[in-house]
Structure 1
Amino acid sequence: MDVKLERELARLIATMRRDGRQQSGLETRLVPPDKDTAYRVARLVEEELALPVVGWKIAAMKEELQRQLRTDSPIYGRVYARKTSPASVEHARQCSPIPEAEYQALLGADLPPRTKPYTRAEVTEAVASLHPGLELAQCSFIHDASFPPLPAILADGAGSGTIVYGPPILDWRTRDIAGQEVVLSCDGQPRRRGTAGAALDHPMVPLTWLANELSRTGIGLKAGQMVSTGTLTGMLRPKAGETYAADFGPFGSVTARYT
């Protein structure tokens, strides 16, 4: 895929995201041939949007979700919007929306590109705070029979949308983050349950993976960015008017409404 086609795809995705619209399928000539090309296009989308990257999303840390998302490794995307809880978004402008309960890690120090891999201890030290949260994911491509291959989705930010987060979890480094059950409810009715232990092992595991992946590709993580570390409760399809709440027990709760 030459640079001209990469730029054409980036402009298309940026326009769809800017306008809040979707399309069915993608011309074969515009489908990136592999993940590395897809992530290069995602970087061009950032340039086209000319928006600050306020965070990152991670998905598919474990094999079960990798199968669902048609990947053989974790994936990531840039986040351009984040809100404090309670939050609301306009359902009509959310493209194939999916609310997911996730831990959000706010970075207090840069993790720049380097030759030596980052350790989990180094990455943990760089985290200023950990928060209960929701990722309001979305996708520029309609989920129909023409849904394009995974590299096109990665170019679109791997389904990135809006991060919603609550107050920081006190003393999170010494608490049972992995074992805490999280309940995702819709309009007060529990819909999904999960733990970080089952879905991620621990939020610092995907965060360390991302730090090393962005280091490898010369991008790096920056202080002030927030990382949505991966769904604990799977994926749901919201309807207009519904309110979703993620209850992290003693760690707090987060709500978001699709108006």
Structure 2
Amino acid sequence: METARTELKDQLATELLEATGSLAPVAPLRDRLEGMDLADAYYVQTVQLDHHLASGRVLAGRKVGLTSLAMQQQLGVDSPDFGFFFEDMVHGDGADIPASAFISPKVEPEFGFVLKSRLQGPGVTLEQAAAAIGAVYPAIEIIDSRVADWDIRLVDTVADNASCGAIAVGSTALDVDPSALLDVSCSLVIDGETLGTGTGADVMDNPVAPLAWLANVLGEQGVALEAGQLILPGSFTKAEPVTAGSTATADFGALGALTINFI
């Protein structure tokens, strides 16, 4: 029975891998694996990670999602999740990004933490996590769902690499100390219209908390966050859709901004 269940999880991972290339979404996973739980979902995610690494893609970092009340309410969940991204998924400030590379993209404004030292749990504290941050950059995550019509619950998005599509990160670090992020404000501006604003405190009450949480969760699996990796701790606002012709900005006011264009 367990063998059949593992085979089905492997099949779901294969479907998601194929959907990433074909942009043809799949049916909700929760409806096809009876009693699907988070352990099942992360198994499906890890199969995909291992496949990509075996093919030669280079891990650039990790993202934590569902860390703000706005995003939890948008998806109807009460806990964060995490996923991964590769170097070929990272774009720079001013990038022109084909909207056709995604199924149904949305954008989220975030901090981007570049680690200066290795961080491995369990037992990582907020102070240790903050001390591991070498620089803080403006960032935007482009989320996308390989599950049809964004019809997802927590297990669906976790299995689907936490709905990660791509990452954009600024070229200039924000002039802010990692210990002073709670009061930093960021707005999501699309086509010149401000659609949402939040502060660091909206990201799990402290944007360093998702970093510590991630280090501890991965640490239980024997996985460390490495120096040089980029970690996105979660969105300031709810996600907003974009299409070809859209321009999206993560506006940190006097601290700086990051803008990307969808073509």
User: When the two structures are superposed, what TM-score results if normalisation uses the length of structure 2?
Assistant: 0.88
Match of 1:240 among 234, 241, 244: 244
Partner amino acid, structure 2, of 1:83: H
Distance 1:26 1:6 in 2: 9
Partner amino acid, structure 1, of 2:200: A
In the alignment, what sits opposite 1:60? 66
In the alignment, what sits opposite 1:256? 260
In the alignment, what sits opposite 2:123? 117
Q: Give the SS at the match of 2:248.
A: strand
Distance 2:224 2:35 in 1: 23
Q: Give the SS at the match of 1:54.
A: strand
- Tell me the alpha carbon deviations over residues 60-98 of structure 1, each in whole angstroms, 9 at most, x when there is no partner: 224553243233311111122112212222112212211
What RMSD, in angstroms, separates the aligned Cα atoms of the two structures? Answer: 2.1
Unaligned 5+ segments in structure 2 are: none
Shift of the 79–31 alpha-carbon distance from structure 1 to 2, 3 Å rule, reads farther
Q: Give the SS at the match of 1:161.
A: strand
Report how far residue 230 of structure 1 moved: 0.8
Shift of the 187–218 alpha-carbon distance from structure 1 to 2, 3 Å rule, reads same
Unaligned 5+ segments in structure 1 are: none
Q: Contact (CA 8 Å) 2:68, 2:236: kept in 1 or not?
A: no
Report how far residue 105 of structure 1 moved: 0.5
1:23 aligns with 2:31: no
1:196 aligns with 2:200: yes
Q: Contact (CA 8 Å) 1:193, 1:232: kept in 2 or not?
A: yes
Match of 2:148 among 139, 142, 148: 142
In the alignment, what sits opposite 1:170? 175
Distance 2:34 2:18 in 1: 17
Structure that is richer in helix per residue: 2
Distance 1:205 1:213 in 2: 12
Distance 1:25 1:228 in 2: 26
- Tell me the alpha carbon deviations over residues 91-120 of structure 1, each in whole angstroms, 9 at most, x when there is no partner: 1221221111100111122223x5x41011
In the alignment, what sits opposite 2:13? 10
Q: Give the SS at the match of 1:38.
A: helix
